[in-house]
Homo-oligomer: A and B are copies of this chain.
Amino acid sequence: MQLEKYQIQSHNEPQLSAHYRKLAYLEEELGDTEQLIEKLTAFQIAIPSWALGTGGTRFGRFSAGGEPRNLEEKINDIGLLHALNRSSGAISLHIPWDIPQDTLAVKELAASHGLRFDAMNSNTFQDQQNQEFSYKFGSLQHEDPKVRKQAVEHNIEVIRQGIELGSKSLTVWLADGSCFPGQLNFRKAFQHTLDSLKEIYAALPDDWKIFIEYKAFEPNFYSTTVGDWGQSLLFANKLGPKAYTLVDLGHHLPNANIEQIVSLLLMEEKLGGFHFNDSKYGDDDLTAGSIKPYQLFLIFNELVEGMDTRGMDHAEDLGWMIDASHNVKDPLEDLLQSVEAIMLAYAQALIVDRAALQTAQIENDVVRCQEILQNAFRTDLRPLVAEARLRSGGALAPVELFRSLQIRSQLIQERGLFTMATGL
Interface residues of A (CB under 8 A from B): 21, 25, 28, 55-60, 62, 125-127, 134-137, 143, 175, 178-188, 190-191, 216-219, 221-223, 227-231, 233-234, 252-257, 259-260, 263-264, 266-268, 279-282, 284-287, 290-295, 298, 301-302, 305-306, 309, 327-330, 333-334, 337, 341, 344, 357-358, 360-362, 364, 366-367, 369-374, 377-380, 382, 399, 424
Contacts and interface: CB of A to CB of B under 8 A. Distances in A.
A188 B364 CA distance: 13
B371 A337 contact: yes
B281 A369 contact: no
A364 B327 CA distance: 13
A186 B263 contact: yes
A256 B373 CA distance: 26
Given A58-B58, A221-B281, A366 B254 contact: no
A221 B279 contact: yes
Contact of A216 (B58, B281, B330): B281
Nearest to A363: B143
The CB with the most chain B CB atoms within 10 A, among A55, A187, A279, A334, is that of A187
Given A136-B364, A181-B290, A185-B263, 12 more contacts: A56-B219, A59-B175, A180-B329, A183-B369, A186-B263, A187-B263, A219-B327, A253-B254, A282-B282, A293-B377, A367-B399, A378-B382
A307 B358 CA distance: 43
The CB with the most chain B CB atoms within 10 A, among A279, A334, A370, is that of A370
Contact of A370 (B181, B295, B360): B181
A301 B183 CA distance: 13
Contact of A253 (B256, B292, B373, B377): B256
B222 A280 contact: yes
A184 B361 contact: yes
Contacts of A143: 361-362, 364
A235 B263 CA distance: 15
A282 B287 CA distance: 21
A179 B371 contact: no
A160 to B, nearest CB: 24
23 contacts: A57-B218, A57-B219, A62-B127, A136-B328, A137-B364, A143-B361, A179-B284, A181-B259, A181-B373, A182-B360, A184-B361, A186-B264, A187-B263, A187-B266, A191-B267, A223-B260, A281-B282, A287-B370, A292-B292, A328-B364, A337-B370, A341-B374, A378-B382
